[in-house]
Structure 1
Amino acid sequence: MNILVVDDKRLAVNALIRILGEIDPSWPVEGVTSGEEALVIAKGNRPDVVFLDIEMPGISGLELARRLREMSQDINIVFVTAHSEYALEAHGLYPSGYLLKPATEDDVRRALENLRHPVASGTSARLQAHCFGTFDIMVDGKPVPFKRSKTKELVAFLIDRQGARVNSDELVNALWEDGVSSVSRRAQVRNLISDMRSTFDALGVGDVIVRGRDALAILPDAVDCDYYRFLKGDLEAVNNYNGEYMNQYWWSEMTLANLNGGW
């Protein structure tokens, strides 16, 4: 369950994060102090639940809830506020809860046990790929810190191949637009693979990679990916498709053409 906490007071954010950690320390939880920051995070990695203050400077909690619901109707909004007078207006946004500050652990537990859109336990992959627009890869909602910048492109290419195995020559052709294969290039590919494997192993997701003799693939079922969900006809993924796909990589154009061909 991915959780986002939004409150303009950092102490309130930290207090709620501590409560959530007591309930289940395995949940990835992020906390921010503005609506603008919340929107950036939500676009890159849709949270399952947002604990949201109402009175905030800039984007108010009610306006932020509306924008989050436009991104996805399945986001659970739990308002956490010191102002009971907003309850009627908040009710019109169909929240999963309305907690008065200071929220207790029991309050938070009850809200999570009665979500309007229940989150299936054990079905969310720890590795998340965002392919529509600019590609990004995350583990538990946090960007993967590869040592080499080109390693990220290697992972993107494997995800684009949807589990099909690729060899070193195919990787060279994708990662360098001139397609020139050489001893040096193949050595660089080996270094990128090593970086990918060691980074994923350190994060506990190394089993997503399948290796064979001069062959490499990623397990599609081990990745929560908007592109994969789109191919399965997931309505949310279809609605979120913006006509752009991994737009920082030249080799993505063929997949993009196939995606747009279905429109």
Structure 2
Amino acid sequence: MRAIVVDDEKLACKQLSKMLQETGAFETVRTYTDPEEALDDVKKTQPDVAFLDIEMPEMSGIELAEALQSERAQIQIAFTTAYNEFAIQAFELNAIDYVLKPIMKKRLEKTVGRLIKARETAPAEEATNQESFGIECLGSLKFYSLAGTEKKYIPVKWRTSRARELYAFLLNKHDRFVSKDTLIDLLWPEADPSRGTTQLYTTIYQIRKLMEKLPFHHHIVKNDIGYSLTLSGTLVDSEEWETALAGLPVLSPSNVREHIRLFRTYKNHYFAEYGYLWAEPERVRLSQLWLEQGYRLIDFLIENKNYTEALDICQQIDRVEPDDERSMKYEMTLYNRTGNVEGAIRAYEKYKENKNVMN
């Protein structure tokens, strides 16, 4: 879960944040002493739960809870206070709990247990309608939001092509630290150490400023080693595709449509639009997985005399991987079996031309 803690006392924020992190139930805990700042950040941080002090100047915890729920309907609220006189008002807002200060560890664990249970028993339709976010790598680098079945791309303007490539490289290595020297050697190999370091810092700054404008939670963190892109659950299309492929049942007449649907979701190779040399091993690995899936489908469809659909699979391979000889041979076979002499001749001429180029 992602949590925020809002309390006008900085020490109280720090103590509660530490206690929440020690439960192991939260991937992130952000703290705020300014309720307005917490409210401004809610669309970016997408918290699952807010721990709010009730008595704060300028804006009370009750008022903040109402505002947070209007911005993010599914957020769970837990109030913290030194007084119990607000309990009725708090529960009128459907608060998950009301914790008296000083907060005891066992009492807080009870609240966390309620939060976990509430998430597990949330209606299925709520999860279906909840907006999620993802990143595309197959073809080009794109960001999108997904609400139900509606997918919307989020426009992004990169300051430089180096900024985009640095982000793409960190995405490839996400949630792992990459040394500063590795990044400088990759993107500024001819720069002297001082110049390379300056270029790296400037580009990281540009990326961070861009990421602040995106409506979902992921960030670049730094340590003594270097930098890491932390996704915090954001989906990556290449990883989702590979996971779905591994989870497919053995190909059969009852599930062939599922196999074909997944095959067609692979529209292009990994960062194919940019030609990054460092991405070549991953591009080759994923493309081989995709091609092998295509070959299995073609063999299955031919065996079941579904030549039209088998030819469709060949044509998709041709669009993405036009020099694939095995697909060309399948095309010649399929055109012959369907009596399409002209198609067979075209496929043969293309195959012969490709062989000549290769030789």
What is the CA distance between 1:213 and its match in structure 2?
A: 7.1
Structure-1 residue corresponding to 2:236: 208
Structure-1 residue corresponding to 2:3: 3
Q: Tell me how far apart the structure 1 counterparts of residues 56 and 143 of structure 2 sit (CA, whole Å).
A: 39
Aligned pairs (5 A) from 1:51-200: 51-115=51-115, 118-119=118-119, 129=133, 155=141, 158-160=142-144, 189=161, 191-200=162-171
Aligned pairs (5 A) from 1:20-31: 20-24=20-24, 27-31=27-31
Q: TM-score, normalised to structure 1's length?
A: 0.53
Which string of whole-angstrom CA distances, capped at 9 and with x for unpartnered residues, describes residues 56-75 of structure 1? 00111111111111123321
Q: Tell me how far apart the structure 2 counterparts of residues 30 and 73 of structure 1 sit (CA, whole Å).
A: 19
Structure-2 residue corresponding to 1:12: 12
Which string of whole-angstrom CA distances, capped at 9 and with x for unpartnered residues, describes residues 61-97 of structure 1? 1111111111233211000100111111112111000
Which string of whole-angstrom CA distances, capped at 9 and with x for unpartnered residues, describes residues 141-165 of structure 1? xxxxxxxxxxxxx85xx12599xxx
Aligned-residue identity in percent: 31
Unaligned runs of 5+ in 2: 121-126, 147-155, 174-227, 239-268, 275-359
What is the CA distance between 1:104 and its match in structure 2?
A: 1.7
What is the CA distance between 1:51 and its match in structure 2?
A: 0.5
Q: Tell me how far apart the structure 1 counterparts of residues 51 and 229 of structure 2 sit (CA, whole Å).
A: 27
CA RMSD of aligned residues (A): 3.4
Which string of whole-angstrom CA distances, capped at 9 and with x for unpartnered residues, describes residues 179-210 of structure 1? xxxxxxxxx64x34431123332225599364
Unaligned runs of 5+ in 1: 131-136, 138-153, 163-173, 177-187, 217-263
User: How has the CA–CA distance of structure 1 residues 209 and 6 changed in structure 2, closer, same or farther, with 3 Å as cutoff?
Assistant: same
For these two proteins, the number of residue pairs brought into alignment is: 164
Which string of whole-angstrom CA distances, capped at 9 and with x for unpartnered residues, describes residues 226-251 of structure 1? xxxxxxxxxxxxxxxxxxxxxxxxxx
Q: Tell me how far apart the structure 1 counterparts of residues 85 and 144 of structure 2 sit (CA, whole Å).
A: 49
* Deviation >3 Å, runs of 4+: 204-207, 209-213
One-letter amino acid of the structure 2 residue matched with residue 212 of structure 1: Y
Q: Matched residue of 1:203: which SS? A: strand
Q: Matched residue of 2:12: which SS? A: helix
| 2:44 is the counterpart of 1:44 | yes
Q: TM-score, normalised to structure 2's length?
A: 0.40
Give the structure, 1 or 2, with the largest relative contact order (CA under 8 Å, sep 6 or more).
1
1:95–1:116 contact (8 Å) kept in structure 2: no
Which of the two has greater helix per residue?
A: 2
Q: Matched residue of 1:119: which SS? A: helix
